[in-house]
Amino acid sequence: MEIIYASNYEDMSRKAAIAIAQQVIKKPTSVLGFATGSTPLRTYEILIEFHRQGIVDFSCINTFNLDEYIGLSSDHPQSYSFFMLKNLFRQIQLDPSRIHIPLGTALDLSRECADYEEAIQSLGGIDFQLLGLGSNGHIGFNEPETQLNSITHVVSLSQETIKANSRFFTNLEEVPKKAITMGIKSIMNTRKILLLVSGEKKAEIIRQALSGPISKEIPASVLQLHPNATVVIDQSIL
């Protein structure tokens, strides 16, 4: 595992955007895995700048998002589908047929999870996966105690995660209590992983994830076992 310390959030975001751009330039048909939340927002802004400057052509990529809230329609302002369209996909003019995000309103959630996993495999797997880190060590929505061999599945969100995400909603009660997420095994099967670490109260959890024992209590700790994982840490949080 490679650990890179960025001087601040902007530096971290630029390093991430450059890594993603390099992946697409090297392999224009790359399958990219994307994350949501506040951490990757600036990274996406820089990727949009690269697109507009003609530095990177995203037209042949396929994308998979890590997760989606259950119960929110794709046009709900707090759905991750809405987030990605607003903050990246529309801006880089990506064909909707190349965008894959779990359907949180699916009538058969088990089938939706299975179909999502099958879709990843049908495109040959994910070449490059962008991750953020939850305050409790989760990656995707894989909360503490998630089985390390899990694939795409339905998860009940922890109270800590619900509280952390309530800042995006009017009140705590509006935050969905369940989500669909790619599993830990699904994430570990990706060829390259880039974990971005920024935000308040992340210093202790990233220390445990990187140097502590590998355990279900801290899902991100499993990344220690990935053969091609890079962590970029905004050192201003340390």
User: Is 136 a known active-site residue?
Assistant: yes
What are the backbone angles phi and psi of residue 22, rounded to the nearest 5°? -60, -40
CA distances from 82 to 7, 68, 103, 130, 207 (A): 31, 10, 12, 18, 33
Joined tokens for residue 147: 């089985």
Catalytic annotation, pick one of 11, 136, 189, 217: 136
Where do we find the tokens 């880089």?
Answer: 92
Where do we find the tokens 């009660």?
Answer: 173
Catalytic annotation, pick one of 138, 153, 226, 234: 138
Please state whether beta strands 192-197 and 229-234 pair in parallel, antiparallel, or not at all (unpaired): parallel
User: Is 145 a known active-site residue?
Assistant: no
Catalytic annotation, pick one of 143, 153, 165, 226: 143
User: Is 2 a known active-site residue?
Assistant: no
Q: Is 30:61 a contact under the CB 8 Å cutoff?
A: yes
User: Is 76 a known active-site residue?
Assistant: no
Q: Is 51:91 a contact under the CB 8 Å cutoff?
A: yes
Catalytic annotation, pick one of 67, 68, 117, 234: 67
The distance in angstroms from the start CA to the end CA of the chain is 19
Rounded to 10°, the helix 41-52/9-26 angle is: 50
Could you list the active site residues?
67, 136, 138, 143
